[in-house]
Each structure stands twice: as C-alpha cells, then as structure tokens.
C-alpha cells in the first residue's frame, strides 16, 4: 500500500479549474517529484494534500486514511508536513523561535530537544545564527530554516514546494544534497520543483504536469531520458 495516494483529484478556484483528474502515489522511502511549468497545478496539489485547499473531487489517502476533509493541523499531527513555496519564515522571531514553531503540536519536551539537536546537526548554519532574526538570513539560509522547521514536527512525509526558487547555484546544490540525506534518514519526500534536471536526478519516480493534468510518469532516470521532457524542461 502506498504511503500517499491521490486519486482523480480536481481543484477549482471559483470557475477556474487548477487541477484536473490528477492521480499519483508516493511509496514509503521514496523521493517523488512533480515537475511542470508555472501554472501547471503543482502548488495547488501540495496545498490540497496539506489541507489548506479543499478539492472539488477526488480522494487523498495517507497511510490508509482519507484526509481530503481533514483540518490542516490534524494532517500535520498525523505525520505530513509542508515546506511552502517562498519559505515563509516568521519575521521578528529568531531562528530558534522559528524552529520551535515547527514543534508546536508536539508536547514531549525531550523529543523536541532531540529533534532540535538533529536539525542543528543537519543545518550547522542555523545553530550559528539561532538568535538572529529569521528575516535577516540569506535566501538559502531561510530555505534551510523552513526545512528545519518542518522537520521539527518529525514528519513521515515531507512536502517540498520549489525549494530551489531564487537561490544561488551553490545553495541549490546544497539543498538537493540535504533532500537526499533526509530520505536516507527515513523520511519520504514529495518534491515540487521547476528545476526538472535537479529534481529528476534525485527522484525515484516523477510525474510531469501540464495545465493541471499528469501527462507523463516514470522513474527519474526514464523522465530525464525522455525526448518530451528534455525538449520542454531541460532545453534539449
């Protein structure tokens, strides 16, 4: 059984349909990537999985339980956490306070302290800047903070929305290495990304979206080798 299964998902914004009959699955331990141009429906899918948007049709099943009508905070508590597009760190709060916000649903102080230790081990720069206002971090550091904040909830499935957006190449490489490390440590990852080459190079499987629909799927390597993907997304 898949950890996450999305079936026949439709999402509307008024009369505008953003997602059309989308189906895909994510198995435990995988990195699965959704790729596509702006407006393809990628972020709408993630926001719907997270409970921030209600679907007009279809089902979303996480670990055997349908969650398409579940409140967002209960979805987080069940083990699914999202790193939003654009990072959205909390300005006026320190790096440490931002990380602590990620654990607001977890009441075990010892576990939270251990999780914080693991986050600082994975992102040493965050520990160096733990008293600094989060808004003053660089773009790459804010992305690390957003990822660390999500990891503080101990997710089984981590949703990443455009983690490379606006970052310098050196930070992009580092972020994708961190994603692979997160997977190796046992967290399943659903990755939305415009940088198709980077996303598919680390993905076990991928789905290509166009105008709200899945038009192609396969392993990461199969999609990298696809003429259709190369022409549309890799400049081939």
pTM for the structure as a whole: 0.92
Q: What percent of the chain has pLDDT over 90?
A: 75
Report whether pLDDT(52) > 70.
Answer: yes
Q: Averaged over 32-54, what is the pLDDT?
A: 93
- Which two three-digit tokens encode residue 33? 């990537």
- Which two three-digit tokens encode residue 232? 């549309």
Q: Residue 135: which H helix or E strand, with range? A: none
CB burial readout 189-218, b (16+ within 10 A) else e: bbbbbbbbebbbebbbbbbbbbebebebeb
Sorting pLDDT into bands at 50, 70 and 90, what band is 235? low
- Which two three-digit tokens encode residue 210? 């166009």
CA distance 182 to 223: 23
CA distance 9 to 56: 8
Q: What is the DSSP letter of 136?
A: G
Q: What is the pLDDT of residues 114-128, one digit of tens each?
A: 999 999 999 999 999
Higher confidence at residue 102 or residue 63? 63
Give 21's contacts (C-beta < 8 A, 6+ positions apart). 8, 9, 10, 58, 213
Domain ranges of the chain: 4-89+154-233
Placement of tokens 């520990």 in the chain:
127
Report whether pLDDT(236) > 60.
Answer: no
Q: Averaged over 21-40, what is the pLDDT?
A: 93
For position 183, what pLDDT does the model report? 95
Strands 4-13, 16-26: parallel, antiparallel or unpaired by DSSP?
antiparallel
For position 227, what pLDDT does the model report? 86
For position 90, what pLDDT does the model report? 93
For position 147, what pLDDT does the model report? 94
CATH 3.40.50.300 fits 4-89+154-233, yes or no: yes
- In this structure, how many other beta carbons lie within 10 angstroms of the beta carbon of residue 21? 14
Considering only 12-21, 94-103, 108-117, 139-148, which range has the smallest mean pLDDT? 108-117
């Amino acid at each position: 059984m898949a950890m996450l299964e999305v079936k026949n998902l439709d999402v509307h914004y008024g009369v505008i349909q953003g997602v059309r009959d989308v189906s895909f699955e994510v198995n435990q331990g995988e990195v699965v990537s959704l790729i596509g141009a702006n407006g393809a429906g990628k972020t709408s899918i993630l926001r719907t999985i997270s409970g921030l948007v209600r679907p007009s049709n279809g089902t979303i099943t996480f670990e055997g339980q349908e969650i398409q009508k579940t409140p967002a905070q209960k979805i987080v508590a069940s083990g699914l956490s999202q790193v939003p597009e654009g990072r959205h760190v909390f300005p006026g709060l320190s790096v440490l306070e931002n990380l602590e916000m990620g654990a607001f649903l977890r009441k075990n102080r010892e576990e939270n302290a251990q999780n914080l230790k693991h986050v600082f081990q994975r992102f040493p720069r965050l520990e160096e800047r733990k008293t600094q206002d989060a808004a003053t971090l660089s773009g790459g550091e804010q992305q690390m903070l957003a990822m660390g904040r999500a990891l503080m909830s101990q997710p089984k499935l981590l949703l990443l929305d455009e983690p490379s957006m606006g970052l310098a190449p050196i930070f992009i490489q580092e972020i994708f290495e961190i994603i692979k490390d997160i997977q190796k440590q046992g967290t399943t990852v659903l990755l939305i990304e415009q940088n198709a080459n980077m996303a598919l190079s680390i993905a076990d499987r991928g789905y290509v979206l166009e105008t709200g629909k899945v038009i192609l799927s396969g392993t990461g390597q199969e999609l990298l080798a696809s003429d259709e993907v190369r022409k549309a997304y890799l400049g081939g």
